[in-house]
A and B are shown apart, each in its own frame.
Chain A
Amino acid sequence: MKSLFFKFNKTRYIHVVLCFQIFFLAFTSLAQRTTVLPELTISTLDGREVNTKTLDNDGKPFAISFWASWCRPCLKELNAIEEIYYDWQEYGFKLIAISIDDARTRANVLPMVKGRGWDYEFYLDENGDFRRAMGVGNVPHTFILNGKGEVVYQHTSFSDGMEWEMFDVLLEQLDQND
């Protein structure tokens, strides 16, 4: 009878040990878990490199949204936030929009965002390093960070009205700042 117990070979054995270690490290570090931004290189829309550790909002809460020019819900989200962005700006909040567009559509991003009149802070994450480092699978995926640069909220996908929920979370964070 064929054994149901999976066969071990050296590679799989090393994999299993590695898994145990990583899971152990993961769970033991939960207690001290911090949710600050990783340090990686992204670029501005005109190609200058920027380190993600420099993303901030002078001590005020802000949002980071991962999007792509070919993603319809992403465009809906950026359009929806734009409609109330004046209110966001009144409180000093801002949105940092990280495009994951690749070589095919990267050149479209600048004319698109300018043409639509969006006033967000835009960056490109063409190789997906920042996206992977934030655990982003699909776009849109939006994070809200408090004044210390810690992630306090995240949401994947977009539905109408979510821009107000984000605004509420930003206001809560502002209150906590005070």
Chain B
Amino acid sequence: MIRNKINILKNIIVLELAFLLVITPNLKSQELLEGARIWGNFELNSQYYFSDTLIGAPEVPEKILMNGFGNINLSYKDLTIGMRYESYQNALLGYDRRYKGNGIPYRFASFTRDNFEVTLGNFYEQFGNGMIFRSYEERDLGIDNAMDGLRLVYRPLDGITLRGIIGQQRLFFDTGPGIVRGFDTRINLNSVFSSLEENKNQWIVGGSVVSKYQPDRNPLYNLPENVAAFAGNLSFARGPVNIGSEYAYKINDPSAENNFIYKDGQALHLTGSYAVRGFGLLLSAKRIDNMGFRSDRNATGNDLNINYLPPTTRQHFYSLSSMYPYATQPTGEMGFMSELTFRIPRETTIGGQYGTNVTVNFSRANSIHKEKIHDTIPVGQTGTDGYHSDFFRIGDEKYFQDFNIEINRRLSPTLRGLISYAYINYNQNVIEGYIDKEMVNAHIVIFDVTHRLPERRSLRWELQHLYTKQDNQNWAMAMIEYTISPNWFFAISDQYNYGNEIEDLQIHYYTLSAGYSKGGNRFSLSYGKQREGVVCVGGVCRKVPASNGFMLNVTSSF
């Protein structure tokens, strides 16, 4: 056994020596690597856990858990190679436990020559808005559906991009069972046709097709082994006006997500904006019907999604306004959002000496209309076509609504303030999967004030309040942060669930934190309690359990 290992080590040493012999003379004589570029980044998140039965923080047998990863890449002339080493010892609470141990789940080599690019190994890619294909990573959510296979990108003419992909998707330290193939084309008409080059109307059209293959071993149903999805998009710009549209269609794809119905899927996403200096208006709308698309029909949660269905709601970033975040419902929803951003000019009565920024946002998501396919068959019955749906008819059930306004103003050379109000309706049954919870109606008010102090120091404080009669009822939050720019910060905060109807659960979730950053490095250490909740990025969410303990975060880029 030991001899075997020694032999393997010997082999590695021999390989390395051979590598050195070949490379080193070249380095000296021909400066082979002159012009090579190396880069990467590293991140470590670790937490020491205390059990806290009151807030629901469980006993953690390991006491300390850690997620860490590092990317290292090298490019030389037309070649780029890279890899990511990941380590979970074990994964932090709230992350999927299938992230376990160490490995190199991401490695690639890509080669670019003229207008042609080839990637071997892992890659991230998106077609259009991603409604039929998007492979991406979102570390905070533990999402990484990187493709492992081949990607070709070809730009035959200025303004035309062709992309082809094939491979399997990452599933923790493995890949999913399905094979994903796709082709996308994107044409900027103004670049391609010289007659349109000077035209004020800018047109971009695109189309894509993606198909997945997974064998059918189901004893009961005859399931499609190849499922194709198609999408077309068109965008138009003229001066301050921008319009974007995308329609996607997927053939029937019975899956665990749609309760194994044989209905086809559709999605439509429209955006329009008008923007001039000091004024911006955005309108967006979408309809999604049975558009869950995964490379394993049995997958659930955030596993093996081939596509990405963006929600049309605002992503809040204050702790209480993000307490009730929306997540797209792939089985069906209709949504609408409008956002107005404007600046009241400086040195006016309302705008003040330095001007004022205002953002007003409204969004709403509802169910889609669903009708029985037959009197005796309930909507969504397994093994049937599921339901009929009128494309333009909005369903009766409200999933989410958010009205919010934010006013940001510099009050003096050393004082800047923000005030925000939001009224959110949040359907817990649909978004979190409960069956008997009430709609949460929450009013949230936020003050955020920054005082600039001498010697590039600053003091920032936040006061937040959330009022609701549902769920855990009222919350108050206060935070003070002191920064010594550019390196240090210290903060203390407390979220207090003072309105909880159970007196013992009127808990203070306090946190103390400090951090240091310099160059591409950042360290932060904090101690405190974290409430149970949902973390969302880009409309995709992960539940985080309550916890109590020390947290260490280290990030570094080079």
Contacts and interface: CB of A to CB of B under 8 A. Distances in A.
Contacts of A129: 124
Interface stretch (A90-98, A157-165, A170-178): A157-165
A41 B40 CA distance: 19
Interface in B245-292: 269, 271, 273-282, 284
Nearest to A163: B485
A156 B343 contact: no
Contacts of B75: 38
Contact of A28 (B27, B73, B277, B555): B27
A168 to B, nearest CB: 10
B284 to A, nearest CB: 6
A55 interface: no
Interface string A8-28: 100001011111111111101
B315 interface: yes
Interface string B4-28: 0100100010011001100100010
B505 interface: no
B31 interface: yes
B284 A107 contact: yes
B35 A21 contact: no
Main secondary structure of the interface of B (DSSP, over half): strand
B377 interface: no
Interface residues of B, number: 109
A33 B37 contact: yes
A135 B520 contact: yes
A32 B36 contact: yes
Nearest to A154: B520
A21 B19 contact: yes
A140 to B, nearest CB: 11
B242 interface: yes
A45 B81 CA distance: 30
A111 B130 contact: no
A127 B124 contact: yes
A70 B315 contact: yes
Nearest to A48: B188
Interface of B: 1, 5, 8, 12, 15-16, 19-20, 23, 27, 31, 33-41, 43, 71-76, 81-83, 85, 103-104, 107, 112, 124-126, 129-131, 134, 136-137, 139, 159, 161, 188, 191, 202, 204, 235, 237, 240, 242, 244, 269, 271, 273-282, 284, 308, 310-312, 315, 317-318, 339-343, 355, 357, 359, 408, 410, 416, 450, 452, 456-458, 460, 483-486, 489, 515, 517, 519-522, 538-539, 555, 557-558
Given A47-B188, A103-B308, A135-B41, 15 more contacts: A29-B38, A34-B37, A41-B161, A47-B204, A49-B188, A111-B273, A112-B280, A113-B280, A117-B277, A135-B558, A153-B519, A160-B458, A161-B456, A161-B457, A161-B483
Interface of A: 3, 5, 8, 13, 15-26, 28-30, 32-36, 38-39, 41, 45-49, 70-72, 76, 79, 83, 102-105, 107-108, 110-117, 126-129, 132-138, 141, 153-157, 159-162, 164-165
> Which 4 residue pairs across A and B have the least CB separation, nearest first?
A111-B280, A115-B341, A161-B485, A115-B280
